[in-house]
A = this chain, B = another copy of it.
Amino acid sequence: MALIVQKYGGTSVGTPERIQAVAERVLKWRAQGHQLVVVVSAMSGETNRLIALATAVTADPDPRELDQMVSTGEQVTIALLAMALQSRGAPARSYTGAQVAVRTDKAYTKARIEHIDVERMQKDLQSGRIVIVAGFQGVDDEGNITTLGRGGSDTTGVALAAALKADECQIYTDVDGVYTTDPRVVPQARRLERITFEEMLEMASLGSKVLQIRSVEFAGKYNVPLRVLSSFAEGGAGTLITVDSEESMEQPVISGIAFNRDEAKFTVRGVPDIPGVAFRILGPVGQANIEVDMIVQNVAADNTTDFTFTVHRNDYRKVLSILEQVSRDVGAKEVTADDKIAKVSLVGVGMRSHAGVASQMFATLAHENINIQMISTSEIKISVVLQEKYMELAVRALHTAFGLDSVGVV
């Protein structure tokens, strides 16, 4: 008998019929003797409906009142799921974030969980009840309702699993697991049986948007085994996200290929190579609340340096105007910019113990006549920046070269 936390997103509970289906699924797990805590989101469309109401009243709704209102979305779903379970003879009880209580700080609309009271849930579980908890929401120490920000239901699920020391946290989504890469780009992409938290973080931040990155960090920090499953397809085992402790012989070198075409690249050339120059260039960018992704610096022979970095493509114009000023201040020779780039990354913990991954990557791209503009490496990831138009070709070639293509039918 295991204690399992399941989380169902808005699409999975989007209609009364789908809520019935979730109830059936929960009962299947219960029939196997497991204890269950179920976290649900608002029915799909509901949060947007509520926000539209707020916007109809004022262009700039107060964050406290917005949370007070938006949190009702999940409150409806938990009650409906409890009813569905009860109508099938299963004892179930729903709790809002405040009732559990999921205690957070006071950062309305993006609160962080500080503590979860588990006594009430544990008592319910011991008495045989299925516990249903509203995702995405909590309560501050004054009883004000807070929300964790969009996608926060995943975080609620993981945090509950951590607090309850659950055996597994299952995240039900509209995909049946984490894939070696986006199947829309590479039809041969394979579902991964397992992936490590670290790999998942690299995959998620690079565009494989299966899970909210915060929930993966959380799960890694508290060592909560996390499983991504389809709430529509029956019987799949999904992908288990877990610590990198059982490295098997069969561990592949590369787990997946992530990519991202939302970036823009800037190069500041001929900067005097003196201490503090990186800060003088990137400081103003950070102050403008712009997140910098990759940073590469090369020293040239003439005691100057070339400084290249990438940001989100939406910030292209803003960064350009910042750099005009900055490049004068630091005495740079020129600034070049390119918003037609893409980033492609190999991710895999196997890299740690395998040499030659980078050279195989570069050889593969060279063979396809794809020029590499920028390279950045970490312990479990190699990223390259290339012209956007080559992105799909690069991903497909690398997917095949590193043996990720599925054998037979997907």
Residues of A whose CB lies within 8 Å of any CB of B are 16, 19-20, 50, 53-54, 56-62, 64-66, 68-69, 71-72, 75-76, 78-80, 82-84, 86-87, 93-94, 96, 98-99, 143-145
Q: A65-B94, A79-B65 are in contact. Are A87 and B143 (CB under 8 A)?
A: no
Residue in B66, B80, B93 whose CB lies within 8 Å of A54: B80
Asked whether, in the complex, the Cβ of B19 is within 8 Å of the Cβ of A57, the reply is yes
- Chain B residues with CB under 8 A of A59: 87
From A65, A71, A72, A82, residue with most partner B Cβ within 10 Å: A65
- Chain B residues with CB under 8 A of A79: 54, 65-66, 68-69
Asked whether, in the complex, the Cβ of B68 is within 8 Å of the Cβ of A78, the reply is yes
A54 and B75 CA atoms in complex are apart in Å by 13
6 nearest A-B pairs in the assembled complex, by CB-CB distance = A69-B79, A72-B72, A58-B87, A16-B56, A65-B79, A68-B79
Asked whether, in the complex, the Cβ of A86 is within 8 Å of the Cβ of B62, the reply is yes
Asked whether, in the complex, the Cβ of A94 is within 8 Å of the Cβ of B82, the reply is no
A154: shortest Cβ distance to chain B, in Å? 22
A61 and B84 CA atoms in complex are apart in Å by 8
Asked whether, in the complex, the Cβ of A99 is within 8 Å of the Cβ of B143, the reply is yes
A86 and B60 CA atoms in complex are apart in Å by 10
- Chain B residues with CB under 8 A of A145: 96
A57 and B81 CA atoms in complex are apart in Å by 8
A78 and B57 CA atoms in complex are apart in Å by 12
A96 and B75 CA atoms in complex are apart in Å by 13
- Give 19 new A-B contacts, CB below 8 A, not counting A57-B83, A66-B79, A98-B98: A16-B56, A16-B57, A20-B57, A53-B76, A53-B80, A54-B79, A57-B84, A57-B87, A58-B83, A58-B84, A58-B87, A59-B87, A60-B87, A65-B82, A65-B86, A68-B75, A71-B75, A72-B76, A98-B143
Asked whether, in the complex, the Cβ of A86 is within 8 Å of the Cβ of B72, the reply is no
A408: shortest Cβ distance to chain B, in Å? 41
- Chain B residues with CB under 8 A of A78: 68
- Chain B residues with CB under 8 A of A96: 68, 145
A57: shortest Cβ distance to chain B, in Å? 5
A152 and B41 CA atoms in complex are apart in Å by 29
| Sample (5) of A-B pairs whose CB atoms are under 8 Å apart | A57-B87, A58-B84, A59-B87, A99-B143, A99-B144
